[in-house]
Structure 1
Amino acid sequence: MSEFAEILDETTGLQPNKVLTVEKVQWVKHWNDRLFSFAISRPSSFRFRSGEFVMIGLPGESKKPLLRAYSVASPSYAEELEFLSIKVENGPLTSHLQKIKEGDEIYLGRKPTGTLVADTLLPGKRLFLLATGTGLAPFLSIIRDPDIYDRFEKIILVHSVRRVSDLAYYDDLVNQIADDPLVSEEAAEQFTYIPTVTREEFERTSRINTMIEDGSLFTDRIGLPKKLDPATDRLMLCGSMDMIKDFEKYLNEQGFKEGSNSEPGDFVIERAFVD
């Protein structure tokens, strides 16, 4: 019998197995009609590195788990596991996941993994976290990890979305870091948050690649030089396939080397979300 067979018991609810635990939804927050966040209970045995992803899901039509990879948005020391998700009306999982509420049960994979972790990068001075849409999630974890502030002098989070309402955490992000006793002092000196909106009026409306090419990304807040340098700069990328492909080509042309869990480099991409 498959490990996933007979996992759902109609009387007792979802059942754990060798690869999945069953967790309770702690809270749900809907940002708009396209995005929502939620948190689930964290098993005492669950360990992960800030920036990793894990499989989560719900029962499918055949009662077998329907699973998708989601980056953990909470830091590795958090007592609960937070996630950021899009809403897809006819999506096999998200059409149901967006309807969850506090107290519901959800599947959680036992083995987190991923490349958006500090160990995949060589030492450097500036760390650029480049995200589009829900690609923000792993970086919400990373910027609240004390270790990242020991490794880099500057941490710059750039989040690009189409609409202002898609800037999930926009009002909360800086305040959360300022109130975090583990990183508040370091973040005040080392962290910069740069949101940009491409299809509505906003303080910044350029795409990430445009801001890098014209130099507008490199403000005095993140220091000179006003260009990316493989000798000192490191990058993590998570988001749309178009953004990932464009930057991969650009960084390779600029002499940056892609890193991995087995061989650290100058930049890393979370390929679990790239088709």
Structure 2
Amino acid sequence: MSDRIAAASKLAPSASLTVETVLRVRHWNDHLFSFAITRPPSFRFRSGEFVMIGLPGEGRPLLRAYSIASPAYADELEFLSIKVPDGPLTSRLQGIAPGDPLYLGRKPTGTLVADALLPGRRLFLLSTGTGLAPFLSLARDPDIYERFNEIVLVHCVRQVGDLAWREELESQLAGDPLVQDQALLQFHYLPTVTREAFRTEGRIDALIDDGRLFARPLTGPAYFDPASDRIMLCGSMAMIRDLQARLQALGFREGSNAAPGDFVIERAFVG
């Protein structure tokens, strides 16, 4: 075990936490990485939920909420994270290596789940940055393809190198053991970049305004229709607040686990 997380040797399970092992780490660039850990046999979650991840802190564990990027059927749990040099947790977490231990919360939760949405025809998963993570789980959930005719995943980032899992998503999840056949017909991936040249450029609101979000091969109207469209938002607070106001002005109702609606956000992250 490396010195950078030597204190992790003191990890011990508790009523709310298990101790899991890092299986692999992938550094996408100098400010973005993903990691996979072991999954306890008793750990169950719904696609789109988040869970607490952490390391020992001063007197008590240092924990942060992370959306689960892996599908609900996977034998491991994967997460996507930014690197914050002076971040209390991420400054240490970015140095993890296979074999290192991490804390994992026992109770996943969240509102970015299919149960919080009413039935519809098109499902739009609108993300910026690491907000992609819960939608990676949802896009590989067979139930989503039964609930919706089309699934549209939009990932907006600053630089092309920030498009994590781009190859897998561009292939329409080819090779996925459960959804590859359905995804080939129903799944659409739209990456967009704001600070570099790329085939699609601009923020999500710009793609909505000029109709690029609704372009072929997507079918249906070139606008959001509350009668048939369902939307999930995850990413920057500015994006979520802007699109939330826009959707509500169009007649969309926010949903929750207790009262399903037309769109959902993860309030645990945005306040």
TM-score class normalised by the smaller sequence:
over 0.9
Letter in 2 for 1:211: L
CA distance in 2, matches of 1:158, 1:184: 19
When residues 12 and 226 of structure 1 are mapped into structure 2, their CA distance, relative to the original with a 3 A threshold, is closer
CA distance in 2, matches of 1:268, 1:79: 27
Give the alignment's TM-score, normalised by structure 1: 0.94
Moved more, 204-213 or 149-158: 204-213
When residues 251 and 18 of structure 1 are mapped into structure 2, their CA distance, relative to the original with a 3 A threshold, is same
CA distance in 1, matches of 2:189, 2:265: 20
Percent identity over paired residues: 66
Q: Does structure 1 residue 59 correspond to structure 2 residue 61?
A: no
Letter in 1 for 2:176: D
Residue in structure 2 matching 1:179, options 175, 181, 189: 175
CA distance in 2, matches of 1:10, 1:274: 31
Equivalent runs, 1:1-275 vs 2, <5 Å: 13-60=10-57, 62-175=58-171, 177-275=173-271
* Cα-Cα RMSD: 1.4
CA distance in 2, matches of 1:250, 1:145: 28
**Equivalent pair of 2:116/2:260 in contact (CA under 8 Å):** yes
When residues 255 and 18 of structure 1 are mapped into structure 2, their CA distance, relative to the original with a 3 A threshold, is same
- SS of match in other structure, 2:22: strand
Deviations, residues 171-220 of structure 1 (Å, cap 9, x unaligned): 23344721012101100000000000001000011211111111121112
**Equivalent pair of 2:122/2:151 in contact (CA under 8 Å):** yes
Aligned residue pairs, count: 266
Letter in 2 for 1:113: T
What 5-or-longer segments of structure 2 have no aligned partner?
Answer: 1-5
Deviations, residues 223-256 of structure 1 (Å, cap 9, x unaligned): 1211100000000000000000001100000000
Give the alignment's TM-score, normalised by structure 2: 0.96
When residues 44 and 135 of structure 1 are mapped into structure 2, their CA distance, relative to the original with a 3 A threshold, is same
- SS of match in other structure, 1:261: coil
**Equivalent pair of 2:8/2:56 in contact (CA under 8 Å):** no
The CA deviation at 1:10 is: 6.9
Moved more, 154-163 or 12-21: 12-21
Moved more, 219-228 or 246-255: 219-228
- SS of match in other structure, 1:26: strand
The CA deviation at 1:126 is: 0.1
What 5-or-longer segments of structure 1 have no aligned partner?
Answer: 1-8
When residues 226 and 41 of structure 1 are mapped into structure 2, their CA distance, relative to the original with a 3 A threshold, is same
CA distance in 1, matches of 2:172, 2:154: 17
The CA deviation at 1:273 is: 1.2
CA distance in 2, matches of 1:176, 1:50: 18
CA distance in 1, matches of 2:218, 2:44: 32
Letter in 2 for 1:73: A
CA distance in 2, matches of 1:104, 1:250: 44
Moved more, 168-177 or 132-141: 168-177
- SS of match in other structure, 1:222: coil
CA distance in 2, matches of 1:242, 1:109: 28
CA distance in 1, matches of 2:9, 2:207: 53
Task: State the 4+ residue runs in structure 1 displaced beyond 4 angstroms.
Answer: 9-12
- SS of match in other structure, 2:125: strand
CA distance in 2, matches of 1:179, 1:143: 13
CA distance in 1, matches of 2:61, 2:218: 45
